[in-house]
Chain A
Amino acid sequence: MDEAMENNELEVVENEPLEVPSESHSDVITYDENEEYLLEVNHLKVYFDVLGGEVKAVDDVSFALKAGETMGIVGESGCGKTTTAFSINRLLPDNGHIKGGYIKYKGKKIAEPDPEITGLMKDRKKRKLYKEKEAMMAPIRWKEIAMIFQSAMNAFNPVHTIGAQIVEAIQAHEDVSEDEAMERARNLFKMVGLPPERVTGYPHEFSGGMRQRAMIAMALACNPSLLIADEPTTALDVIMQDRILAEIKRLQKKFGISMIIITHDVSVVAETADKIMVMYAGKMMEYGNISEVFHHPAHPYTIGLLGSFPSIKGEKKKLKSIPGSPPDLVNPPKGCRFHPRCKLAKPICMEEEPPIVELSDGHWAACHFAREIYSGELKEE
């Protein structure tokens, strides 16, 4: 357990001005062609139809994940984290549509905008398309890409015991006997700190945190290649959170599992992730290696987000938080979506959408002044 944690050791870089590569200006996140990615998300856009418009929940988000890597997604409530996850697993509700970009898993396209379907037999064609998509995703869900849902209540069927549901998930993908599957369920329970004899319990007999842990057990049941964990520890106390995160890391290392961890808690990302993506109002604000982004944030929103958490090391700084609230996603602000709350905003920010700038290898930020902030030329106050 400790060993797994220690792995997270990162180099501390002091805050000295850095040299910024000047020619690498680009507004497209490029993938390294020599690398093999498990997951590629490219210029993804997901909108929801609602009364009176569209909620632009995910609006041009790109990232890529290699085998064994962990990426954290952070951002305020409602910024599009769960929607990003649901599009990878194709679990979007009926009113949610992929409007642009694509997602590739193990080199295969698993999500792209639906073709426009019109004319005669529209509904039948739509149903057919839906069936095809489902047929493609069914073998991938749980076995390849497992998901820990934000609400465990939503994930379990209330009329079956939790053990039966885990057994079902295992047997759907693997040819094992019921006894074997049940034994595995018991072991998984032990792993997440639940008494194994309680596998025969129903979801309503579990406390909030117990349900969340059962959900984690179920997600790990089929040894997935990619684990998407949406706020996996919100219902857990610090001791249990610590233990579960360590356990997940241990398994990750052992089986080379990749993980996307979604959270509003920056300390959880700090403890688990290799990379981080900061989202704001459906947009990617900053993306890069965890210690790069923590020590040299180049986006005012990231700086605000990190500044609103205390650090145990060094002198105690005065803590800051970001005033104001996130915008309406039906009519998001023009230009940079963060401008109404940004202390560094200039007139250009209200008009032009900022480009996505690469600051160092694999570290990107979407701000008109990312370079200046990164190099230390521009500071708040």
Chain B
Amino acid sequence: MAEKVIINVKKLKKYFPVRGGLMSSFGSGKEQKFVHAVDNISFTIKQGEVFSLVGESGCGKTTTGRLLTRLEDPTSGHIYFHKRDIANLEGKDLKSFRRNVQMIFQDPYESLNPRLTVFSTVAEPLLVHHVGDTIDEREDLVAKALEAAELKPAMEYLHRYPHELSGGQRQRVAIARALALRPEFIVADEPVSMLDVSIRAGILNLLLDLKAKYGIPYLFITHDLSVARYMSDRIGVMYLGTIVETGESEKVIKNPHHPYTRALLSSVPVPDPDYKRERKKIKGDLPSPINVPKGCRFYPRCIFAKKGICDRKDPPVVEVEPGHFVKCHFAADIPAMDGKADEEMEEKVELGEQLLQETMNSAGNDEEEIEFV
């Protein structure tokens, strides 16, 4: 696979101003406060690569996706798309950029126009790009896209409106629409969160097929680690607006170094009414991104934190093995400190992987080749 870098994100920031009324409860006078949604992140995505962002609710994953598709203006930093900085595009240039990238939204209500039928929704991008000469031809393309997204038989859905579909069906219409045109770059924000395992398998395989066939790079956002592992070449673990660990997915999952990554992995749930989960590798809640902790952002919740160091200095980014980066003062020593719990964690990850592998296999590629224009 070509090693061509398609997306290169440098020191990207997005701060949202906090509105007035709120401040009274802080009692700190008049200075403007900000939500530090994305705070100085850098990463690259190569041709035909899937880069996953995982992390707790509210850590800035969706905001990152919206910045990369330029639905949001960055506060500062650069986003190079094919070597061209698109961070500050405006007007016509911005419009034409947006046309070539697609975002699958986390909440399918956001991506579907309630007044358009499923057919019109999926056919709209085809029309914009003058694909398909006749209605019949377009209907055919739309039906293929729907069936590829596991909405079968497509005919049953073509004339329905979004409110006439179940949650998971809506999610699949949004996927069919985003893929119908084979965009140059896709941001998929929790695209399978509402789907059960058997349908999920088909959708994930569809995304991987498109990647393999056309080399489309993806930013894949999920909170499900086994899905992240199955889908991605590399993973970035986000915490409170920053990336705390990044590297090839196998390395990050099998050999996690950041205390937060390790906590995440240890809390993967188990479908058995008799099993009692071992948890508590993490304390408390995600702090408010308005008052970001000084020093290491994970300090207030970290079980390895050292006073005097972690609460004072922003941790450096350490390369713990080639291509595997960790933002922690004690990056190299964490696994040893945490040794005991390792075995169990690995087992959980393996099970998750096994599950996915299995569903992928059985979902199979028995369908005819999907031709997306």
Contacts and interface: CB of A to CB of B under 8 A. Distances in A.
B295 interface: no
B152 interface: yes
B94 to A, nearest CB: 21
Interface residues on B, range: 35 or more
Contacts of A239: 56, 263-264, 267, 279, 282
A209 to B, nearest CB: 3
A213 B57 contact: yes
Q: Which of B22, B150, B156 has the most CB of A within 10 A?
A: B156
Contacts of A50: 159-160, 164
B196 A312 contact: no
B62 A207 contact: yes
B245 interface: no
A267 interface: yes
Interface in B145-166: 150, 152-153, 156, 159-160, 163-166
Contact of A193 (B110, B285, B364): B285
Interface string A306-347: 101111110010111111010010100000000000000000
A340 to B, nearest CB: 12
B197 A321 contact: yes
A264 B270 contact: no
A321 B273 contact: no
B298 to A, nearest CB: 13
B352 A310 contact: yes
Nearest to A13: B274
B93 interface: no
A282 B279 CA distance: 37
A74 to B, nearest CB: 8
Interface string A131-166: 000000000000000000011111000000000000
Contacts of B156: 328, 330
B305 interface: no
Given A77-B199, A267-B270, A310-B352, 16 more contacts: A5-B276, A151-B107, A151-B108, A195-B290, A197-B288, A207-B61, A235-B190, A238-B268, A267-B272, A291-B273, A309-B355, A310-B270, A312-B275, A319-B354, A323-B364, A325-B202
Interface in A171-220: 193, 195, 197-198, 200, 205, 207-213
Contact of A78 (B159, B166, B197): B166
B183 interface: no
A358 B208 CA distance: 44
Interface string B38-60: 00000000000000001111100
Nearest to B269: A267
A208 B106 contact: yes
Contacts of A9: 274, 276
Interface of A: 5-6, 8-10, 12, 48, 50-51, 75-78, 81-82, 93, 95, 150-154, 193, 195, 197-198, 200, 205, 207-213, 230-231, 234-242, 264-268, 270-271, 290-291, 294, 306, 308-313, 316, 318-323, 325, 328, 330
B223 A237 contact: yes
B307 interface: no
Contacts of B347: 312
A78 B264 contact: no
B358 interface: yes
A212 B167 CA distance: 14
B351 interface: yes
Contacts of B223: 209, 235-238
Contacts of A241: 269
A77 B196 contact: yes
Contacts of A318: 358
Contact of B197 (A210, A294, A308): A308
Contacts of A313: 272, 274-275
Contact of A150 (B16, B21, B22, B167): B167
Contacts of A264: 168, 194-197
